[in-house]
Structure 1
Amino acid sequence: MTTPVVLDGGDRRCVLLLIELRRLTLQVPADTTIHQIATDPAAPLDLPAWCHLTGHTYLGPLPAGDRPTYAIRVTAAAAVTDPDRPWRPTQV
């Protein structure tokens, strides 16, 4: 098993987190697990919704730690989204 890639979103809003997460999913190989640290209260709703939209696999929240962390597995055939608005699919 490979070590997960950690994306520390700090206290940034989910809009910025999704932009960073989208960028990272394009840089790592398929089947990479990303641990997204996110304190934004919208993260538990936005992250699974974004994964559903794109086709990445939402693995859920990790056991309690000092900061909320969510696991996502990168999918090779993920849908492409707008770089500045990753909640919008790109029209091809």
Structure 2
Amino acid sequence: MISDPVVIDGGDRSCVRLLLELRGHLAGLAPGTVVHLIASDPVAPIDLPAWCHLTGHAYLGPVDGAETPTYALQVADAPRPTSPESPWRPR
């Protein structure tokens, strides 16, 4: 059974703030859940794949046909933790 992706609207938040919030959202989701992140920060297409690589979440790429910049990722079974105040640094 394939469920619809969870949509998280990051709006125009900077990537640092966006990653802090995203980490919290993902912590409550089941492994394998696909997430569509709406993010207008121009750095998102660079930072999000790097953050996914760091944490172990699977970056699935831009979502085709989305009205606003949207990126897909899949929640990892056992994501690697990051620093509470710095989501781009391993704990």
TM-score interval, smaller chain: over 0.9
Q: How big is the shift at 1:65?
A: 2.2
Report matched runs for 1:23-42 at 5 Å: 23-42=24-43
Instruction: Give unmatched runs, 5+ long, in structure 1.
Output: none
Deviation at 1:66, TM superposition (A): 1.7
| Corresponding position of 1:22 | 23
Structure 2, unmatched stretches of 5+, are none
3-state SS, counterpart of residue 40 of structure 1: coil
**What residue in structure 1 maps to residue 87 of structure 2?**
86
Counting aligned pairs with the same residue, the percent is 56
1:51 partner SS: helix
TM-score normalised by the chain length of structure 1:
0.93
Report the RMSD for the aligned CA atoms in angstroms.
0.8
**Residue-by-residue CA offset, 1:1-42 (whole Å, 9 max, x unaligned):** 111111100011111110111111111010001100000000
- Counterpart in the other structure of 2:54: 53
**TM superposition score normalised by structure 2:** 0.94
Q: Which residue of 2 aligns with 1:63?
A: 64
What CA deviation, in whole Å up to 9, does each residue of 1:47-80 have, x standing for no partner?
A: 0000000110000000132210000100011100
Larger mean CA deviation between 50-59 and 81-90 belongs to 81-90
Count how many residue pairs are aligned between Structure 1 and Structure 2: 90
Distance 2:32 2:73 in 1: 9
